[in-house]
Amino acid sequence: METVIPRLLRDARHIAVLTGAGVSAESGIATFRDAQTGLWAKYRPEDLATPEAYQRNPRLVWEWYQWRRQVLSGVSPNPGHFALTEMEKRITGRGGQFTLITQNVDGLHRRAGSRNIVELHGNIGRVKCFAIGTIVETWEIAEDVPPRCPNCGGMLRPDVVWFGETLPPAALAQAIDAAETCDFFISAGTSTLVQPAASLPWLALQHNAFVLEINPNETPLTSFASAALHALSGEALPELVAAAFG
Ligand code: OAD
């Protein structure tokens, strides 16, 4: 690893990290643009993760999320997730700031121990009412699928952002603020194709942050980033943390 990158990371006052599906790939979760497997292979996520798909066939969409929750219960955070937890400990331990902005809904960053997490696209572990949007903690398991909201009787849905929906405003504001105020920005495991998350590295560049991309493949960001590591995040992130703080 080039020595300037760990040095800049070590000296940063505020590190912001944007993660995408690639960071969970080494935990065994298919990325969004990878083919789905098993029973769900014939569906494209873009055809299931929309309000229209849910209205058309709520049972199908609910069952897809139930299947994804089941997959998640059998996987664990990988060394990339744990390296980000360590990075946060090191920088906050000496009075700096750390913001982890994730597009992932899988909750693996929290399970790995990260604390200051901005979930831009929600969390698959939470459920809300489709009609009024209230978060629901408990509900009756009945014949009826999806289950019903205990407050209004409306259908329940996962608390994730679907295609065509707006992002939670507070989370987006926090992410923009982090991109504008950080001095070191890492874009890891994301194709930087889906807006508005995809514009965050550019915002950081405009505000003079050092922007490091970690992705085995080229993305629209690669040639604009301050540096790019063509590597798996589960390998590059632990190496980076060891070189900066080890
Ligand atoms: P994508 O599936 O678009 O991209 C995953 C990226 O991870 C690709 O660029 C891969 O090259 C890279 N990658 C794969 N394995 C990796 C590894 N081990 N280490 C590092 N990188 C790796 O996923 P996202 O960019 O997260 O939105 O997609 C963004 C959003 O688009 C998702 O949150 C979802 C989707 O539509 C919503 O559902 C609203």
- CA dihedral of residues 133, 136, 140, 145 (deg, nearest 10): 40
> Is the CB of 25 inside a 6 Å radius of any atom of ligand 1?
yes
Going by alpha carbons, the residue nearest to atom 11 of ligand 1 is: 217
Amino acid 46: pLDDT: 80
- Report which ligand 1 atom has the smallest distance to the Cα of 103: 33
Residue whose CA lies nearest to ligand 1 atom number 22: 22
Q: What pLDDT is recorded for position 143?
A: 78
At 137 the pLDDT is 81
> Is 81 a catalytic site residue?
no
Mean pLDDT per block of 10 residues along the chain (246 residues) reads: 88 98 94 70 85 95 92 96 98 98 97 98 94 85 86 93 95 98 98 95 98 98 98 98 95
Q: Is the CB of 103 under 6 A from ligand 1?
A: yes
* Confidence at residue 39, expressed as pLDDT on a 0 to 100 scale: 67
Residue with CA nearest ligand 1 atom 21: 189
CB-ligand 1 contact for 21 (6 Å cutoff) = yes
The pLDDT of residue 160 is 96
Ligand 1 atom at shortest distance from the alpha carbon of 232: 19
Task: Read off the pTM.
Answer: 0.95
pLDDT of residue 30: 82
- Most ligand 1 atoms within 8 A of CB, residue of 46, 78, 102, 103 to mutate: 103
Ligand 1 near 49 CB (within 6 A): yes
